[in-house]
Amino acid sequence: MSSQKALLKEYARKHGFKHLQFFVDDGYSGTSFDRPSFREMEQLIESGKVGTVIVKDMSRLGRNYLQVGM
């Protein structure tokens, strides 16, 4: 996980994103969207507090590509 965070931090730095927040659901399967941090992220997006989500690849959001939006 730390290599993914380092990659994302570098991307954010290069593109001017300054207020980073990581949502990590260790121990939960990516096949389910019923994960605590994922739900928190959804709520922050819906409330307008988060405007951009950056992921290493779409499989980091979830394994079901239809639900992820691909």
Name the token pair of 31.
């096949």
Amino acid 22: pLDDT: 92
- At residue 4 the predicted structure's pLDDT band, cuts being 50, 70 and 90, is confident
Compute the average pLDDT of residues 3-15: 92
On the question of pLDDT at 1 being above 50, the answer is yes
Name the token pair of 45.
């997006």
Domains defined for the chain, CATH in brackets: 2-68 (3.40.50.1390)
58 and 70 Cβ atoms separated by less than 8 Å: yes
pTM of the model as a whole: 0.70
Distance CA(39)–CA(45), nearest Å, equals: 10
Tens digits of per-residue pLDDT, 13-70?
999 999 999 988 876 666 667 788 889 988 999 999 999 988 887 665 655 544 444 3
The backbone torsions φ and ψ at residue 52, rounded to the nearest 5 degrees and listed phi first, read -140, 135
Distance CA(47)–CA(51), nearest Å, equals: 10
